[in-house]
Amino acid sequence: MSGSWLVTGAGGMLGRDVVARLAGRDAHGLDRSALDLTDAEAVAATVAGARPDVVVNCAAWTAVDDAETREDEALRINGEGASQLARACARAGSVLLHVSTDYVFAGDATAPYPESAPPGPRTAYGRTKLAGERAVRALLPRTGHVVRTAWLYGAGGANFVRTMIRLESAREHLDVVDDQRGQPTWTADLADRLVRLGEAALAGAAPAGYWHGTSAGHGTWYELAQETFRLLGADPARVRPTTSAAYVRPAPRPAYSVLGHERWREAGLEPMREWRAALAEALPALVAAERPEGARGRDICGSAAMGVPPFSSEAENLGERSADGGPRPNDRAPSGT
């Protein structure tokens, strides 16, 4: 059963891939300019008019550091916006797949967080996303699915992997943190799983609740940077490990945000593949997006430009990202993942 689909936050990195995955179906994508989740009347009218079978909410405020001083603004999108969308879905009888984040957890575990783990956000961003999760589950106990993800990268937006592709040809060495562990996740893989989950929900095969939409395996930002260099044909030794203490940010980053995937197996759905395999398949499209003019005159396996001072930007060394893959902090996010 394919049904009709509505994707919010369709202009963001994940939203674009969800729309692409739904090509050829009865599906409509709305970006920030087409639907502002803070406008309750617009949300209600849009969902009532479309009456979709499935809504995929990729829209979010994703500026993690900015949320520390602008929590009310972030809450209007991540909490109240999600609540308004859930109410509209309840009236329309729609299944809602709401994309959330690893930041709802404290990030200090030593084993993967199961879907049932109690949340304990340490950041304003995490608190606002948790508010959205709770609203979705309270308003849609039978049709509300919360899909937590993390460490997203893709061709359709700024992210850590694209930064590494760009800097590989511009810096002799990069210093990248090696004490934050998570699951690099390709947006195309997550988009595929979201669509499969929506199909299963429509067929009554996937009970509502919490899901973890991240790749299998885990690594640090340093390991992700090294693997990116290796796939580019560059020397991974040019990436050097450092610690988070060298790059203090307004919002603390989780030291361990590895998520478990048991619910997929319980529902008879396949979890995502190992992150290195996904990265290998994703990289050509990311290189094409980051180096549009013939990969800057060299192919993906070319040699690196040398003789440039070591890179030292805080944001890019930390893997600074839109936590859900959406707009960068300057974009002020209500667009989506």
- Using one digit for the tens of pLDDT, what is the confidence trace for 44-101? 999 999 999 999 999 999 999 999 999 999 999 999 999 999 999 999 999 999 999 9
**Does residue 253 fall inside a structural domain?**
yes
DSSP, res 336: B
pLDDT of amino acid 311: 31
Distances in whole angstroms, Cα of residue 63 to Cα of each of 20, 183, 325, 329, 337: 25, 19, 10, 4, 12
Per-position b or e across 77-99, b if 16+ CB within 10 A of its CB:
bbbbbbbbbbbbbbebebbbbbb
Q: pTM for this structure?
A: 0.89
- Confidence bin at 291 (pLDDT 50/70/90): confident
Whether the Cβ atoms of residue 191 and residue 17 lie closer than 8 Å to each other: yes
Mean pLDDT of the chain: 89
The yes-or-no answer on residue 113 being catalytic is no
Q: What is the mean pLDDT of residues 193-208?
A: 98
| 130 vs 1, residue with greater confidence | 130
Average pLDDT rounded to a whole number, residues 305-328: 31
In this structure, is residue 188 part of a structural domain? yes
Task: Tell whether 303 is covered by a domain.
Answer: yes
pLDDT at 325: 37
Number of domains in the chain: 1
Please tell me whether residue 38 adopts helix, strand or coil conformation. Answer: coil
Q: How confident is the model at residue 292 (pLDDT cuts 50, 70, 90)?
A: confident
Is 301 contained in some domain? yes
Q: How confident is the model at residue 1 (pLDDT cuts 50, 70, 90)?
A: low
What one-letter code names the amino acid at 275? Answer: W
Reported as a single tens digit per residue, the pLDDT across 155-191 is 999 999 999 999 999 999 999 999 999 999 999 999 9
Active-site residue, from 125, 210, 222, 247: 125
Q: Report yes or no on 31 lying in a domain.
A: yes
- Spell 190-229 as b/e; 16+ CB within 10 A means b: bbbbbbbbbbbbbeeebebebbbbbbeebbbbbbbbbbbb
Per-residue model confidence (pLDDT) at position 2:
77
Confidence band of 250 (pLDDT split at 50, 70, 90) = very high
What is the span of the domain harbouring residue 79?
A: 4-331
pLDDT in tens, 219-229: 999 999 999 99
Place of tokens 């995955």: 21
Q: Tell me how far apart the alpha carbons of residues 115 and 96 are, in angstroms, rounded to a whole number.
A: 18
Q: Does residue 337 sit within a domain?
A: no
Is the separation of the CB atoms in 215 and 275 below 8 Å? yes
d(CA 326, CA 61): 8
336 found inside a domain:
no
Residue 124 lies in a domain: yes
With CA atoms as reference, report the closest residue to 54 among 16, 117, 111, 2. Answer: 2
The CATH number of residue 191's host domain is 3.40.50.720
The DSSP line for 217-267 is S-EEHHHHHHHHHHHHTS-GGGEEEE-GGGS--SSPPPSB--B--HHHHHT
Query: Once rounded to an integer, what is the mean pLDDT over residues 17-23?
Result: 98
